[in-house]
Structure 1
Amino acid sequence: MDDQYSVQGAAALSICESLLLCLGDMGLMTDKDVIGILEDAASAHVTGEPGGEVNNHHQAVHDLIKAIIKGGNSVRHPA
């Protein structure tokens, strides 16, 4: 993958995560809303039929978003 593309992707991810955290902190979105957005984004990268060939790039994006959901990166968790 091209370095410029990788840098742009990392910047976009950081910006989006910050926006989701801000919207949650301001009470404009619940944690459930944030998770829903992330689930929708992950689902958008699932292509092809069950058992069929899946594009590696889309699968990697799907897996990363699922890891973000699991890790709670975009939702603040009280200590």
Structure 2
Amino acid sequence: MANKEVDHNTHSGIAALSICESLLLALNDANILPEREIMGILEDAASAHENEGGSYTEIESHKAVAALIKSIISSGNSVRRK
């Protein structure tokens, strides 16, 4: 049962990330948010996770999330470069 819950959480996280990336792209494409604002949103999200506390497991999870967001920032996945 625990594996199904982990799989569900993992799949939910991947789905949420994909939806958020698509929304950021759409906002940029529609000239609603410029690239610098989108990058700021991503940087704020990474920073929020870097500064979270909790148990060792929770802190490690937050660090992993921050690293993933920073990877998105550095690879340019969420914003199409012009």
The 5 Å alignment of 1:1-79 reads: 2-47=6-51, 55-78=59-82
Offset at 1:47? 2.6
TM-score under structure 2 length normalisation: 0.84
Please give the alpha-carbon distance, in whole angstroms, between the structure 2 residues aligned to 1:77 and 1:45.
26
Does structure 1 retain, via aligned residues, the 8 Å contact 2:28–2:35?
Answer: yes
Distance 1:23 1:56, change over 3 A: same
Q: Percent identity?
A: 51
Structure 1 runs of 4+ with >6 Å offset: none
Q: Which amino acid counterpart does residue 75 of structure 1 have in structure 2?
A: V
Please give the alpha-carbon distance, in whole angstroms, between the structure 2 residues aligned to 1:48 and 1:39.
15
Please give the alpha-carbon distance, in whole angstroms, between the structure 1 residues aligned to 2:22 and 2:14.
12
Unaligned runs of 5+ in 1: none
Offset at 1:46? 1.2
Q: Across the two proteins, how many residue pairs are aligned to each other?
A: 75
Structure with more helix by fraction: 2
Does structure 1 retain, via aligned residues, the 8 Å contact 2:52–2:62?
Answer: no
